[in-house]
């Protein structure tokens, strides 16, 4: 620290003596009186010019705070390039010079020789805003697509469907999204319809009731959406027959192989004789299983079968009435020999 010597005398009232003060500044290292001091702004130190000793620190910089960073310079250059690209005519010269010659600064002042019209600049800024909005819209579409894929995989996994159904349903939904067919539609209904259509295309059909039980979408809405997608996508849904449902229904009802084989044979005979012509494949499968289960001594109630097949109990019993009326032609002697436990006496009277 600087050494100082101060001598002072103060006036006393009525003494007639004048005050005298003496102040001397001395470097503590070289003992130089009234040394030449230098303010180092990089370290905020006060340095003696004679011996280079720091005699003061933590000084306050009283100069104007001029800030110029590399970020500001890059922003200025970006603005200059924007002006050049926005102009309908080429700018002849861009000059960059310090904004204040008395202070060292890297700030750039851009001076175009030809002025850019406000309309041109507005169009350029509008184009940038449009690109940003397009990027955000694309990101939102990708996010919605990933969410739909996750929902399709969840439903397929719950229904124990093979991977080929999951992949096909995803491809169908991607086409729906690309052609913007889901506008104004229920997304859950779109997902359910894509899964239903994929099952039909890969010959692993599922009923509307099975799909709506997991997706919580009404059956009628799935049916309408399925017809809409089938028409717009031009997809081949493939026919669904009772043969495709027979094996799965019998397995869900815990029937033995003999009852399953008997139901399949009854289904084929009913098709040949057009006994159930005009009935839906689900109704035909349910009625044949109902008759076959009683025929071979493994009876299943119509209410249980209706729950598995997804049709009403009345529908199954109405179809069974037609089969019972034609039972002597449907159940041949060869069928009775193939299943020793089978007997027409076991059939319930409708």
Task: Specify burial of residue 104 (Cβ count, 10 A radius: 0-12, 13-18, 19+).
Answer: exposed
User: With 50 as the cut, is the pLDDT of residue 107 above it?
Assistant: no
* Whether the predicted pLDDT of 122 surpasses 70: no
Give the distance from CA 97 to its chain's centroid: 49
CA atoms within 13 A on the CB side of 124: 16
| Cβ(170)–Cβ(202) below 8 Å | no
pLDDT for 234 equals: 81
pLDDT at 170: 92
3-state DSSP percent of the chain in helix, strand and coil, to 5:
55, 5, 40
Contact 28, 53 (CB under 8 A): yes
CA atoms within 13 A on the CB side of 39: 8
Cα gap 253→263, rounded to integer Å: 13
Q: What percent of the chain has pLDDT over 90?
A: 10
Q: How confident is the model at residue 117 (pLDDT cuts 50, 70, 90)?
A: low
pLDDT at 143 over 80: yes
d(CA 245, CA 241): 7
139 pLDDT band, cuts 50/70/90, is confident
Contact between residue 37 and residue 55 where contact means Cβ atoms under 8 Å apart: yes
Distances from the Cα of 35 to the Cαs of 3, 30, 31, 47, 337, in angstroms?
A: 11, 9, 9, 10, 130
pLDDT digits (tens, 9 = 90+) for 292-311: 999 988 899 999 998 888 88
Q: Which helix (H) or strand (E) holds 184?
A: none
Structure-token match 């009628």, residue found: 220
Average pLDDT score, the chain: 75
Tell me the pLDDT tens digit for each residue of 27-59: 777 877 767 777 776 666 777 877 867 777 666
| pLDDT, mean of residues 167-172 | 91
Can you tell me the mean pLDDT for 50-73? 61
Least confident of 91-100, 117-126, 211-220, 270-279: 91-100
């Amino acid at each position: 620290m600087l050494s100082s010597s101060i001598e002072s005398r103060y006036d006393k009232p009525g003494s007639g003596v004048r005050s005298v003060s003496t102040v001397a500044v001395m470097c503590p290292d070289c003992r130089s009186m009234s040394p030449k001091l230098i303010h180092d702004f990089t370290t905020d130190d006060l340095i003696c010019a004679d011996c280079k000793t720091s005699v003061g620190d933590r000084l306050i910089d009283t100069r104007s705070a001029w800030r110029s960073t590399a970020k500001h310079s890059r922003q200025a250059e970006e603005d200059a390039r924007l002006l050049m690209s926005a102009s309908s005519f080429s700018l002849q010269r861009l000059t960059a010079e310090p904004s204040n010659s008395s202070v060292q600064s890297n700030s750039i002042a851009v001076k175009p020789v030809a002025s850019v019209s406000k309309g041109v600049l507005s169009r350029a800024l509008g184009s940038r805003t449009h690109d940003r909005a397009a990027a955000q819209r694309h990101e939102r579409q990708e996010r919605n697509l990933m969410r739909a894929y996750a929902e399709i995989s969840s439903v397929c996994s719950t229904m124990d469907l093979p991977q080929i159904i999951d992949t096909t349903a995803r491809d169908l939904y991607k086409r729906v999204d690309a052609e913007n067919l889901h506008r104004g539609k229920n997304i859950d209904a779109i997902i359910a319809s894509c899964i239903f259509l994929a099952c039909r295309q890969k010959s692993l059909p599922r009923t509307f009731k099975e799909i709506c039980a997991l997706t919580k979408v009404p059956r009628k809405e799935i049916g309408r959406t399925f017809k809409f997608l089938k028409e717009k996508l031009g997809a081949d849904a493939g026919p669904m027959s009772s043969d495709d449902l027979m094996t799965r229904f019998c397995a869900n009802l815990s029937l033995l192989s003999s009852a399953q084989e008997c139901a399949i044979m009854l289904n084929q005979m009913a098709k040949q004789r057009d006994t159930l012509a005009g009935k839906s494949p689900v109704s035909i499968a349910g009625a044949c299983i109902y008759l076959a289960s009683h025929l071979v001594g493994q009876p299943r109630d119509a209410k249980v079968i209706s729950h598995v097949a997804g049709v009403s109990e009345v529908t199954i019993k109405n179809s069974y009435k037609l089969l019972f009326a034609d039972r002597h032609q449907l159940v041949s002697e060869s069928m009775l020999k193939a299943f020793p436990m089978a007997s027409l006496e076991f059939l319930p009277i409708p």
